[in-house]
Chains A and B, each alone.
Chain A
């Protein structure tokens, strides 16, 4: 297995620090660079950049505008792969929007939709498409199969890569009261290209842990080491934190701790 790249998300408010620091192999781009971002030229020159923007939800086909935007960003970043999420967060008519990743129902109908729309998107990209798992905080009775089964069938039908978000798996295991390693074993890890690692904190509304712009715990890092060993095609591990409240110390320190734990 080739050495894993270890990186983080580009947080523009930390642009000066990221342009100067060492020890980070890549940056994932959640938003396009702002036109007035003074650090962008240095960031672009220095890092491998991964396209990880919102391109659209694949429950519907992406329109030409969204495809051209994806192609344009992929070319700007010279990204090795293009990431999207298993999400369905706004209603079909556009009236309601959660503005936060939210999984689809795990049904045959949604599988058919996602496979068709991912294949259509992949056909228009010059880079491989990878898809990220999204956690559910509650089960919806209408789902017809477990998430890992649905994901396995999706990857087998499309040949796309898997962006395995480990804290998402960890959270689902927590709220199902099962061991994270046991839940992880259900997922199609042979398709994993990239892993996300992040910290979790107690959330007052959820009355339990959720993703937060904080460093990963030792337990999460051990979970990551366990997972990476089971992902033979993995190429990168990314510290998944993107927030105006994130500090440079947390970002750089987390990347160092991830690298040490691998």
Chain B
């Protein structure tokens, strides 16, 4: 086993609580178990602090009205109870942490009528961000644009239906205000996606985008997709280019 592989094993033990508890890891006796456990718990709180502060920043800005800072959950028993199952960066753990945050913020004073939409939006961002990512391009041709092949929705991409036009107020929430900005009550759809390198992007989704996202299953060719979505080839190509850039769609390269 190379030293790099040993390092990977240590990193996995710190990130993956069930693995850390396994006989396979303990048998290796690479480090003092109690020290590893303490450091792993420290890392877990740090990992989710950074994500909660970033993805729930709008709820954080509303905390002086709600009385609920999202990151407070990290010092509550609910988070401690999660620790034996935490896998840093996994979608399951992201969902579990988001549930704690959403319940905590909802238990405060409702600051704005669009609070439920806001929490769903923030949760979607944090869950979409989770999952393995490409840290380093190896030049093996992954993710080429390959516009001739069958487009496929990238796993984890979310179409979110909102009751309020949330994108209109997000920037305002982060500026100084005496009363929180109001959002028009208007059905709005946004697409939340993540690039291969882990960058989360949000875009308004009109009917064209929504139908392409729903139809892009990796089996339909561009012609099939254009017919099914009722789009001209130019329209479809422009839509797919935008969706590819934000990481929502990729092109299947298999035979």
Contact = CB atoms under 8 A, between A and B. Distances in A.
B155 interface: no
Contact of A206 (B2, B39, B47): B39
Interface string B1-38: 01110111011101110000000000001111001101
Contacts of B139: 63
Given A59-B4, A88-B7, A97 B88 contact: yes
Nearest to B35: A138
A182 interface: no
Interface string B182-222: 00000000000000010000000000000000000000000
A105 B14 contact: no
Interface in A62-89: 62-66, 88-89
A98 interface: yes
A138 B32 CA distance: 7
Contacts of A244: 53
B95 interface: no
A113 B89 CA distance: 26
Interface string A141-165: 1100000000000000000000000
A93 B135 CA distance: 8
A100 B3 contact: no
Given A62-B136, A63-B136, A105-B3, A92 B53 contact: no
Contacts of A107: 3
Given A66-B136, A99-B47, A141-B30, A91 B42 contact: no
Interface residues of B, number: 40
Interface in A117-133: none
A13 B152 CA distance: 39
A37 B99 CA distance: 31
A140 interface: yes
Contact of A92 (B4, B42, B50): B4
Interface in B36-63: 36, 38-39, 41-43, 45-47, 50, 53
A36 B149 CA distance: 38
B39 A138 contact: yes
Most chain B beta-carbon contacts within 10 A, residue among A59, A64, A88, A99: A99
B42 A110 contact: no
Contacts of A104: 7
Interface of A: 36, 56-57, 59-66, 88-100, 102, 104-105, 107, 109-110, 113, 137-142, 203, 205-207, 210, 244
22 contacts: A65-B137, A66-B136, A91-B12, A92-B8, A93-B8, A94-B133, A94-B135, A95-B12, A96-B8, A97-B133, A98-B11, A98-B14, A99-B47, A102-B11, A104-B7, A138-B32, A140-B31, A142-B6, A142-B30, A206-B39, A207-B38, A244-B53
Given A65-B197, A107-B3, A207-B38, 15 more contacts: A60-B136, A90-B11, A91-B11, A93-B8, A96-B15, A96-B89, A97-B88, A97-B135, A98-B43, A109-B2, A137-B35, A138-B36, A140-B6, A140-B31, A141-B29
